[in-house]
Structure 1
Amino acid sequence: MTDRQLYNTKNLLEHPEFRILKEKPAKGTGRNIALTYDVDHVNKFVEKPRFDPAPGQVEVNVRATGICGSDVHFSQHGHIGDMVVRCICGAGHESSGEVTRVGQGVTEWKAGDRVAIEAGIPCGNCEFCKLGRYNACQNDIFFSTPPHFGTMSRYHLHPAAWLHRLPDSVSFEEGALCEPLTVAMAGIYRSGLRLGDGVVICGAGPIGLVTLLAAKAAGSIPIITDLSQSRLDFAKKLVPSVKTVLIERGQTPKDIAQKIKEEAGMPLTLALECTGVESSVHAAIFSMTFGGKVFIIGVGKDIQSIPFMHLSANEIDIQFQYRYANQYPRAIRCVAEGMIDLKPLVTHRFDLEDAMDAFDTAADPKSGAIKVQVLD
């Protein structure tokens, strides 16, 4: 099967060896199980066929997969923008693992190699791919984004060209966390962050926290905001020097911005907005000094308003990001060299057969989870 046929959920559903499991799978069987969500917002275990790798493909035993907010959102709400769950779709796109088999013509990988799995496979032929901005490819495959099956399964076939070698010093858990790290690094790279910049990071969720780690490593002086004191406390453990601002419900964006500026004690030239929430975007805008920039990493509602004249009168730029491109090797180097420590971000771990419990934990704000991972 070609890559596009292999990863299309509809083709998998029609395969005679694909089946929906009525009971929780037993541990120790070695079956190629996977966790999915469907149009009725129900999570289900399935068993996938274990295909032989085609030419140019590699089979990976997926050893660690993080649960992303987008996975939970697809499961609970059935869509993100125009990306709609129309049938069963496999979860997971933050993954790493061990090569088990290689297809014809694959010379750069062998069984036993440790790899991080880049989740997006571009077409390679369009204008954006040729420019190196392959995150803009309109004909790409992105795992766990309908209609393409995710990587939260025991065995996953992947194009050899879109795997990245993990040094022995980088664990499978860290390798899986390189996916959200690439999101943060893409934002920092494009935002133009400079050494010594005062930076406000809006949101202390998983992306906000990994952005904090990357922004600090890049030489900024960060301050971070959130509605949850426990998440701000977690941020302080990650980066003891970071200043924190607790957002109280009912505060106006201007009040929040004033609080941010007072706590920062210096002009803020850059905001890395990691929530996508309109009020948070507004607070980021009002906290900027003249000529600052608000770089929006978070994903929010389709239509939002902005304080247009404040932006105009203060020459504040707004910039956006869609996924990432060309970041994985840099992210792995930063982890391997000890510049960024991702290990504390994993707060909850579950076996693959308990992936449904992992999803419930990731979706529950009361769980205190930062990053939930499913391990095999």
Structure 2
Amino acid sequence: MAAKDNLTAVLYGINDMRLEQRPIPVPKDNQVLLKMESVGICGSDIHYLVNGRIGPFVVEKPMIIGHEASGTVVLCGKNVTSLKPGDRVAIEPGVGCRICSFCKSGDYHLCPEMVFCATPPVDGNLSRYYVHDADFCFKLPDNVSLDEGALMEPLSVGVHACKRANVRFGDVVLILGAGPIGLVTLLAAKAMGATKALITDVVDIRLAKAKELGADYTLKIEKNMTEEDIVKKIKALLGEEPNISLDCTGAEQCVRVAVQVTKSGGVVTLIGLGAFEMKLPLTGALIREVDIRGVFRYNNDYPTAIEMVRSGKINVKALITHHYKIEDTLKAFHTSKTGEGNPIKVMIHANPEWKK
């Protein structure tokens, strides 16, 4: 390859992000070399930048950041038959071992040997060029843009969460938290047939965006509101109890509300990761046979997410509020970290051909 410029965003430690040149990687036999296009900033990226860790995952050595991404195939390994140079792809960032019982059963996201972009010590993909296993690169239809391709990663979280909750036509759904994951969960729930969807948050602009994206009801959580107040308001707005509640915050109060407000026989699905231990009113949920389910990333959900966007059932473009070139990565992360300009999804463009 003639190209030599592989500008890369590397996290060295807390609030220490640097742009540097890295060698252009060489694809293995089952991999493709990608010219990276759009890379979104995720809340986890900010968490690593600000705290240097998420739970047991600690940034102990320089790590390339980024995992919500799309790219264009430049070169294929000799065993790759599913893709060809010029193909535009969404990149599923987690690759399992393929041989453990979880991988073989299709639950590869639970693989104990999972290699996931920008989860220490694994490098991410915010660079001009990047290699990835071809079978975790999904070709984008002609009417799906590269920006939308990058958003298949968060959208897959929402799709997976709604599959776990078994959302279907006629369901009454509560979503707690209107950040990017709450919003994609809302989009997925409505596309899967939820008849009523109420979403909560503490920020007016997020709730306004949720309304724009199809929320039937919004509820702003004020500081002085008790759990009882919140439960009453949810029931009053919906006119009934939700039979499915999806928490996208990880906040103890929100999880407690979800457990209490969900209809008997319903489902609480926990997407947001909060404190390792929480105090929850479980007995009341158990005697009403409310199921409580966890969500971790996604598996086999990219094709569904892509088809939802291709068919027009879901519009993810409205989530993108800011665009930056890779040279301005530090500014992009500053925007995402501080919330200046009310960002929802900040998109970084990895190659110089990008134009607004």
TM-score, length-normalised on structure 1?
0.90
2:264 aligned residue: 290
The CA deviation at 1:308 is 2.1
Which amino acid letter does the alignment assign opposite residue 235 of structure 1? A
Distance 1:353 1:79 in 2: 25
Which amino acid letter does the alignment assign opposite residue 212 of structure 2? K
More deviation, 218-227/102-111: 102-111
Question: Structure 1 residue aligned with 2:48, among 68, 71, 74?
Answer: 74
Question: Structure 2 residue aligned with 1:228, among 171, 195, 203?
Answer: 203
Question: Structure 2 residue aligned with 1:166, among 118, 140, 145?
Answer: 140
The CA deviation at 1:30 is 6.3
Q: Does 1:210 align with 2:184?
A: yes
Q: Does 1:105 align with 2:79?
A: yes
1:128 aligned residue: 102
Q: Deviations over 1:270-292 (max 9, x none)?
A: 10111111111111122212222
Distance 1:108 1:317 in 2: 40
Q: Percent of aligned positions with the same letter in both sequences? A: 42
1:128-207 aligned at under 5 Å gives the runs 128-207=102-181
For the residue of structure 2 that corresponds to 1:248, the secondary structure is coil
Answer whether contact 1:254 1:286 (CA < 8 A) is retained. no
Distance 2:14 2:191 in 1: 42
Distance 1:119 1:63 in 2: 15
Q: Deviations over 1:299-353 (max 9, x none)?
A: 1111111112222232222110111100111111111011101111100000011
1:1-376 aligned at under 5 Å gives the runs 31-220=5-194, 221-239=196-214, 242-375=216-349, 376=351
Answer whether contact 1:293 1:318 (CA < 8 A) is retained. yes
Distance 1:351 1:365 in 2: 18
More deviation, 171-180/314-323: 314-323
Distance 1:187 1:348 in 2: 26
Answer whether contact 2:248 2:272 (CA < 8 A) is retained. yes
For the residue of structure 1 that corresponds to 2:151, the secondary structure is helix
Q: Deviations over 1:155-206 (max 9, x none)?
A: 0011111110101100000000000011010111111112111100100000
Distance 1:286 1:250 in 2: 19
Which amino acid letter does the alignment assign opposite residue 356 of structure 1? L
For the residue of structure 2 that corresponds to 1:44, the secondary structure is strand
- Note the residue ranges of structure 1 that are not aligned, 5 or more in a row: 1-28
The alignment yields a C-alpha RMSD, in angstroms, of 1.3
- Note the residue ranges of structure 2 that are not aligned, 5 or more in a row: 352-356
Which amino acid letter does the alignment assign opposite residue 146 of structure 1? P
Answer whether contact 2:177 2:248 (CA < 8 A) is retained. yes
The CA deviation at 1:112 is 0.7
2:354 aligned residue: none
Answer whether contact 1:114 1:166 (CA < 8 A) is retained. yes
Q: Deviations over 1:137-160 (max 9, x none)?
A: 011110000000001111001111
Number of equivalent positions: 347
